[in-house]
Amino acid sequence: MSEEEYTYLISSRDKTAAEYLFSLSSKRREEYYGKDVYIRGLIEFTNYCKNDCYYCGIRRSNKNVQRYRLDLDDILNCCEEGYSLGFRTFVLQGGEDPYFTDERMCGIISEIRKRYNDCAITLSIGEKRRESYQAYFDAGANRYLLRHETADHTHYSKLHPQELSLDNRKRCLYDLKEIGYQVGTGFMVGSPFQTAENLAKDMMFIKELQPSMAGIGPFITHKDTPFSDKPSGTLELTLFMLGLIRLTLPYALIPSTTALGTIAPNGRELGLKAGANVIMPNLSPVSVRKKYMLYDNKICTGEESAQCIQCLKNRVSSVGYEIVCSRGDVKKISDKR
């Protein structure tokens, strides 16, 4: 589809169109992944951040955040617990924290790689130099999540301070891909000032990049940010965009995000039905979970990891899907069943 066609489809969508879309998108997903849902253990290892993104609760200007960092032992404990619960992917996510130099990051990555050679290591630590990405890859990282956030320059500048640019974000994504990572990108749905044309551009960028993973979730207001008076994105539009992404990237790994589960009690189940096939439960120590508040009312911040996984297994099977414990690497176009 062209950018104009995406814009038309998004702006003229209705219930009938959405139901038809989900019937197509869930078929596509089953052609590649059947009923399987992969789990990724999310370790939120630092909430220090040098950036000041207007939407994000852990932006550097938010003085109400109690900052924390996990050390290597904390992180390895999370992995140990995760491994015994069946996780074979660990996602290290954090703010852009200068304390974690390349040397420290490589130390952490190689230690996890040494102990868990059958696991995938995913990083989500923002914009770095190409040499840094290469060093993490050489230390044993396999995947990288970096949402482009919005593919429109003007919109990008309304969500970020001027020292951040869409061009650099894209440069990072292409570097990561060239180095050999399985790359994930994505955007927030309903972020302030977003239009149907912006979303169409996001779809065109995703089509161009052909990422292995695409993460989208609703924007959710955070009370201590410049966007505290902006409304959150909707469940309805987020599901519609998930369906479109599945049709555009039939082979991709697409999470049903925590943000989706936050705006609606059954949001993640509906996400799976719209085409998602990944869930990312929180493996962070319970003591820090409430401090990694990207947005208000984030769910699953009080439970132990084991409770989270049991709850998710029930949720996933309630809509006819099944959690599997493999690494869950991306499929190739030719892997269609």
In the complex, which residues of this chain contact ligand SAH (CB under 6 A)? Answer: 55-56, 93, 95-96, 124-126, 146-147, 149, 188, 217, 219-220, 222, 259, 294-295
The phi, psi pair for 186, rounded to 5°, reads 155, -170
Least separation in angstroms between CB 271 and ligand SAH: 14
Least separation in angstroms between CB 131 and ligand SAH: 18
DSSP assignment of 199-221: HHHHHHHHHHH--SEEEEEE---
In 41-113, which ranges are E strands?
41-46, 89-94
Nearer to ligand SAH, 230 or 315 (CB): 230
Nearer to ligand SAH, 35 or 223 (CB): 223
One-letter amino acid of 290: K
Which two structure tokens, joined as six digits, stand for 145? 């999540």
Look at residue 319 and give its three-state secondary structure.
coil
Nearer to ligand SAH, 190 or 250 (CB): 190
**Sheet containing 36-39, strands listed edge to edge, beginning at the edge strand earlier in sequence:** 278-279, 36-39, 322-324
How far is CA 278 from its chain centroid? 10
Look at residue 245 and give its three-state secondary structure.
helix
Which residues make Cβ contacts (< 8 Å) with residue 157, sequence separation at least 6?
none
Least separation in angstroms between CB 218 and ligand SAH: 6
Least separation in angstroms between CB 274 and ligand SAH: 18
Nearer to ligand SAH, 228 or 317 (CB): 228
CA distance 143 to 159: 26
Least separation in angstroms between CB 322 and ligand SAH: 27
DSSP assignment of 128-143: --HHHHHHHHHHT--E
DSSP state of 330: P
Contact 113, 142 (CB under 8 A): no
Nearer to ligand SAH, 32 or 137 (CB): 137
Least separation in angstroms between CB 162 and ligand SAH: 17
Nearer to ligand SAH, 32 or 278 (CB): 278
What sign for the dihedral angle of Cα 297, 298, 304, 307? positive
Nearer to ligand SAH, 250 or 260 (CB): 260
Nearer to ligand SAH, 17 or 164 (CB): 164
Least separation in angstroms between CB 186 and ligand SAH: 7
Contact 309, 24 (CB under 8 A): no
H or E segment at 241?
helix 235-248
Least separation in angstroms between CB 145 and ligand SAH: 7
